[in-house]
Structure 1
Amino acid sequence: MFTPCPTERSRELADRVEAFVRDRVVPYEHDPRLGPHGPSAELVAELRGLAREAGVMTPHILANGEHLTQLETAAVLKRSGLSPVGPVAVNTMAPDEGNMFLLGKVATPEQQQRFLAKLVSGEARSAFFMTEPAEDEGAGSDPSMLKTIARPDGNDWVIDGTKTFITGADGAAVGIVMARTEDGDKPRATMFLVDLPHPAIRIVKVLDTIDSSMPGGHSRVAIEGLRVPASAVLGEVHAGFDYAQIRLAPARLSHCMRWLGATTRAHEIAVAYATRRHAFGKRLIDHEGVGFMLAENLIDLQQAALMIDWCAGVLDAGHMGTTESSMTKVAVSDALFRVADRCVQAMGGSGVSRDSIVEQVFREIRAFRIYDGPTEVHKWSIAKKIKRTALEGGYRAGH
């Protein structure tokens, strides 16, 4: 269920992306090169070769470097998500999509030429090193808890720390490392650009997680004596927290876009099953227990699509959209999980079999409710905004 494309160029791009994903990518969904830690490098290269031939590589960034609006991006990324492998093939996946957005906003021309160009072309992947292990009381959903430290040493910086759940670190060529820097007595953060692999950045373990769509999986990483020049600083020193906000609001929204596509496809498969399968003298869809689930799916999908477009409009209007993206991430991730769960339930044993992509979509959506901030953290942030607004007189007192 997709809302209309906002512009002619987004309609044309979205239609081409959808045709490519359905016709060329879907047949790869059971390729043996899809493992528990995502598609292999060989498979990624093969899919992207097909995307280049079809003219749909990195479709949200135009040939002149212009980025589609967020509303236009939504139209395209929803279609790319129609297969869990679709975003990988057309280069709209996390974390690369968010990293490209950040580099386009903050990086110097030299940094863009060195790091961004190869991401946009799809020749390389990237990783964003922010999350840290809970047992070390490091940064998770709260970046202010950063333990990784960058210390100035002459014209260089030396970085030490441990990161975890770093998506795509295994096999990435570009790294954005977020580390704490000191500004007097006040802790700040700075982002650094790094060529990967690097001997000072060691993958300790690729974690086994419930999801399996992202190349390289999610790694625990040790950073030991990483020395980088001043030219590696992304943007300004001590501005890392601000840049994190520039990246995180659009990135969590693009997650919603992609997974709306995936659950739309799961719903299509469940509908086809329920209209084909007979039990107790009639089609499954004619049993209210199944038909009502599919009706509820359609309602949730439409509401999710509208929520995404509303938040995209807020960002396009020039607002940070922090609260709006939190609201959207909560509403959409929870709605899409309900959709995926109903699809599994409606299909019975077929829904939990890996012969169907529905089972994978269910696992991926369950992880999505945690990644880019758990539902509860976003609700807490929204509640703080409500309290602040109320104390400032922004709400009329009830009578």
Structure 2
Amino acid sequence: MDFTISPEIEDYRARIAAFVDSRILPVEGHRSLWDEHGNIGRAALTDLRAQARDQGLWCLQVSKENGGQGLGKVGMAVCYEAMNRSIFGPVVFNAAAPDDGNMMVLEKAATEAQKERWLAPIVAGSVSSAFAMTEPSPGGGSDPGMMRTRAEKRGDRYVLTGRKWFITGAEDAAHFIVMARTSDDPRRGLTAFLHHRDDPGWRIERRIPIMGPEEHGGHCEIVYDGMELPADRILLGEGQGLKLTQMRLGPARLTHCMRWLGLAKRCTEIARDYAGSRTGFGIRLGDRESTQIKMGDLAMGIEIGRLLVMKAAWTLDQGDFARQEVSMAKIHVANLLHKAADVAIQINGARGYSTDTVLEWIYRYARQARLVDGADEVHQMVLNRLQADNPDGFWTWPVSTA
């Protein structure tokens, strides 16, 4: 098996790493440049985004013909990990959720006219976007079959009614992809629609307060109250909403993991630096066996995560949905990130619990990782079902045709 990467990917990785170190980390280190929700302030972000664009480090995930760099999932895995050495890295390179996943699915599913109207402005960075799928109970969450938001066809238009919540970025978003039920067919009952924030018939009910730091635009509860949309706002086709969610969520879950590996590595970096300088009871903290065991365990966990992510990335690049590979990576890396932040805080002691480092930021952020894009238990059930349905093929290696 060949784990080497191309010189092109290594060039992107090295330039991103240098950019993070020289440009983004200094901004991260000045709390005056943050916004009130624990994210990078708009002024600093605008400046850094312009620099990233000038250096050809913009939108790695989008094809060159649509304004990006055209890296596949393997290249993204390498570079996204490098980006998230800083908590602000991904958004600077236009590789943060939810725009990241929305751009990828629009490039795959949108018509040329839809790409021009809905994709191009996100790629340009002139607007942000949101993906409105999750609903309050008893509506759809991890199970889209429970979706209650409806789109009723009236003549040549569709009228949307329903409620969504925890919609990331909604307060700042201009472009929305919203999932709604157009029939009760279990396989073809859902449809994806595109709408603009200026379209009438919807509102943000509230920006939901959360435990962790927030993406720009927060996590909002949305009400659709008779929004009327023409048929050209349908993405992929009526009744193709379930297929579209599969197209979007698999790669989006994996890009979360790519980024989380970078944050987990940052945790070990902060812990190792402190353990190397802190002395107590006549011995350096880094020389204590208990510290070495913790750090060695994290190093192994991160490498396992990198292998799982890379296999899933490779499988996606082959045109597969990579359901079992993505679920395994999602479970492992989400838990790894929480563990890395917890161990690093423990090693740093009170310093780790303070805001003198970004460890407490990462710790608060990390707890959501086991929930977003499918809770651990949902992915574990998926893996059990896939293994039970194909016990002989679950652990097979792909065979070369050469």
The answer to whether the 8 A contact 1:156-1:227 is kept is yes
Instruction: Give distance in 2, aligned partners of 1:185 and 1:267.
Output: 46
Secondary structure in 2 matching 1:140 = coil
- 182-191 or 283-292: which moved more? 182-191
Distance 1:195 1:41, change over 3 A: farther
The answer to whether the 8 A contact 2:268-2:340 is kept is yes
- 330-339 or 345-354: which moved more? 330-339
- Deviation of 1:61 (Å): 2.7
2:333 aligns to what? 332
- Deviation of 1:252 (Å): 0.2
Secondary structure in 2 matching 1:35 = coil
- Deviation of 1:67 (Å): 3.1
Where do residues 229-378 of structure 1 align in structure 2 (5 Å cutoff)?
229-378=230-379
Instruction: Give distance in 1, aligned partners of 2:97 and 2:142.
Output: 17
Where do residues 93-108 of structure 1 align in structure 2 (5 Å cutoff)?
93-108=96-111
Instruction: Give distance in 2, aligned partners of 1:155 and 1:106.
Output: 22
Of 129, 134, 153, the residue aligned with 2:132 is: 129
Distance 1:119 1:394, change over 3 A: closer
The answer to whether the 8 A contact 1:139-1:147 is kept is yes
- Deviation of 1:114 (Å): 0.6
Instruction: Give distance in 1, aligned partners of 2:12 and 2:91.
Output: 17
1:71 aligns to what? 74
Distance 1:245 1:238, change over 3 A: same
Secondary structure in 2 matching 1:50 = helix
Letter in 1 for 2:323: T
Distance 1:186 1:70, change over 3 A: closer
- Deviation of 1:312 (Å): 0.7
- Deviation of 1:395 (Å): 8.7
Tell me how large the CA RMSD over aligned residues is.
Answer: 2.1
- 75-84 or 99-108: which moved more? 75-84
Letter in 2 for 1:87: P
2:206 aligns to what? 205
The answer to whether the 8 A contact 1:37-1:215 is kept is no
Secondary structure in 1 matching 2:304 = helix
The answer to whether the 8 A contact 1:5-1:11 is kept is no
Secondary structure in 2 matching 1:64 = helix
Instruction: Give distance in 2, aligned partners of 1:18 and 1:48.
Output: 15
Of 78, 81, 101, the residue aligned with 2:84 is: 81
- Deviation of 1:294 (Å): 1.1
Higher relative contact order (CA closer than 8 Å, sequence separation 6+): 1
1:10 correspondence with 2:13: no
The answer to whether the 8 A contact 1:190-1:233 is kept is yes
Letter in 1 for 2:358: I
Instruction: Give distance in 1, aligned partners of 2:94 and 2:386.
Output: 35
2:36 aligns to what? 35
Letter in 2 for 1:256: C
Secondary structure in 2 matching 1:13 = helix
Of 116, 120, 131, the residue aligned with 1:117 is: 120
The answer to whether the 8 A contact 2:99-2:128 is kept is yes
- After superposition, what is the alpha-carbon deviation per residue over 1:262-282, rounded to whole angstroms, capped at 9, x for unaligned? 111121111000001111111
Secondary structure in 2 matching 1:176 = strand
- 151-160 or 36-45: which moved more? 36-45
Contiguous gaps of at least 5 residues in structure 1 = none
- Deviation of 1:373 (Å): 0.6
Secondary structure in 1 matching 2:390 = helix
- Deviation of 1:86 (Å): 0.6
2:398 aligns to what? none
The answer to whether the 8 A contact 1:36-1:208 is kept is no
Instruction: Give distance in 1, aligned partners of 2:240 and 2:83.
Output: 33
Instruction: Give distance in 2, aligned partners of 1:359 and 1:5.
Output: 35
Letter in 1 for 2:6: T
Instruction: Give distance in 2, aligned partners of 1:40 and 1:141.
Output: 32
The answer to whether the 8 A contact 2:62-2:104 is kept is no
Instruction: Give distance in 2, aligned partners of 1:340 and 1:327.
Output: 20
Instruction: Give distance in 1, aligned partners of 2:243 and 2:311.
Output: 23
Instruction: Give distance in 1, aligned partners of 2:321 and 2:43.
Output: 38
- Deviation of 1:4 (Å): 6.8
Instruction: Give distance in 2, aligned partners of 1:139 and 1:185.
Output: 13
Letter in 2 for 1:17: I
Contiguous gaps of at least 5 residues in structure 2 = 396-402
Question: TM-score, length-normalised on structure 1?
Answer: 0.93
- Deviation of 1:50 (Å): 2.9
Letter in 2 for 1:290: T
- Deviation of 1:187 (Å): 6.3
- Deviation of 1:213 (Å): 4.5
Letter in 2 for 1:23: S
Distance 1:158 1:40, change over 3 A: farther
Distance 1:314 1:369, change over 3 A: same
Secondary structure in 2 matching 1:59 = coil
